[in-house]
Amino acid sequence: MKIQGLIAATFSTFNDDGSLNLSLVPSLINNLVEQGVKGVFICGTNGEGPNLTSEERMATVEAFVKAANKRCLVLVHVGHSSIAESRRLAAHAEKAGADAISAVSAFYFKPASAANMVDCMAQIAAAAPSLPFYYYHIPAITGVAVNPLDFLELAENRIPNLAGIKYTAATLHEYQACLHYGNGKYDILFGYDELLLPALAVGAKGAIGSTYTFAAPLYLKILELFEKGDIAGAREMQYQAVKMIQCLGWYSPIPTQKAIMKLLGTDLGPCRLPLTTLDVLQQEKIARYLDEIGFAAVLQSVTN
């Protein structure tokens, strides 16, 4: 399986009391399908997967698969600090009708080498043998900086359903090397929204990102302009994305993005501790900044 286009790494959907609110999933999926994304990546970093119980993650998978109804891909993150629990989540995703699974490294007791990582991922992938499996490389979060090229070389003969890597790192030289491994055998999905254009320049065809959940038209425009050879136009659109992304670091990025979605008309509810929802003053600061950079107008200008 090779994915081209954008996969939106969706956010959690909670009630005010912190319980799951899966009634929001159908409208979220409908909006993303209408905007032109190729799929969703659920229960990952942005979906607060580690903040959910396994039962909540399973319920989330079932809700998204039902709402998508084959209109877009549903990629399920099944990573967990327990490999046994990851295997349970993987098997459930397969049974529920997901299109692919992905897993981060264990992040408490960490794999010590690429070979050790392959041992772990092979067990997880084997629990859902019919589904494409993507190793989720995100060293800034897991603290595990295994060379992804070494991972591919060792995993090639160990993980029959290995589809590729969800590559969430800024090391574009290593990303490009992974793209070329085995004459382009694997699907290496890029995961840094602020570097989408540079990733396209070195060969990216598919990308997974959090801001695609609320700004997909902007990034689709970058793809369109790049394919047309309008690099100056693509560069300007990428800069518009970068300006928006700059405010995500003022507070915690995930609550900030949920605040932006609320400003744009989609309230997905609060976050769970240790993440904290932005207070009123913080939300107002974000709103003022987005107004100053004309973010809503930019989105409107690129929406078909």
- Sequential pLDDT tens for the chain (304 residues): 799 999 999 999 999 999 999 999 999 999 999 999 999 999 999 999 999 999 999 999 999 999 999 999 999 999 999 999 999 999 999 999 999 999 999 988 999 899 999 999 999 999 999 999 999 999 988 888 889 999 999 999 999 999 999 999 999 999 999 999 999 999 999 999 999 999 999 999 999 999 999 999 999 999 999 999 999 999 999 999 999 999 999 999 999 999 999 999 999 999 999 999 999 999 999 999 999 999 999 999 998 6
The domain 5-216 having CATH identifier 3.40.140.10: the answer here is no
Q: Which of 134, 136, 175, 186 is catalytic?
A: 136
H helix or E strand, kind and range, residue 100: strand 100-104
Cβ proximity of 108 and 71 under 8 Å: no
Cα 39 to Cα 71, 105, 174, 230, distances in angstroms = 8, 23, 25, 26
Which sequence spans correspond to the domains of the chain?
5-216
Query: Is 101 annotated among the ligand-binding residues?
Result: no
Known active-site residue 239: no
Cβ proximity of 180 and 157 under 8 Å: no
User: Cα torsion for 132, 137, 138, 143, to the nearest 10°?
Assistant: 130
Find out whether the peptide bond into 139 is cis, omega within 30 degrees of 0. no
Residue 33 tokens, joined = 């399908």
Outline where the chain has alpha helix (H). Answer: 25-35, 54-68, 83-96, 114-126, 139-142, 148-155, 172-180, 196-201, 212-228, 231-246, 253-263, 280-292, 295-302
Known active-site residue 289: no
Cβ proximity of 203 and 174 under 8 Å: no
Three-state SS sequence of 1-57:
CCCCEEEEECCCCECCCCCECHHHHHHHHHHHHHHCCCEEEECCCCCCHHHCCHHHH
Q: Which of 166, 221, 258, 262 is catalytic?
A: 166
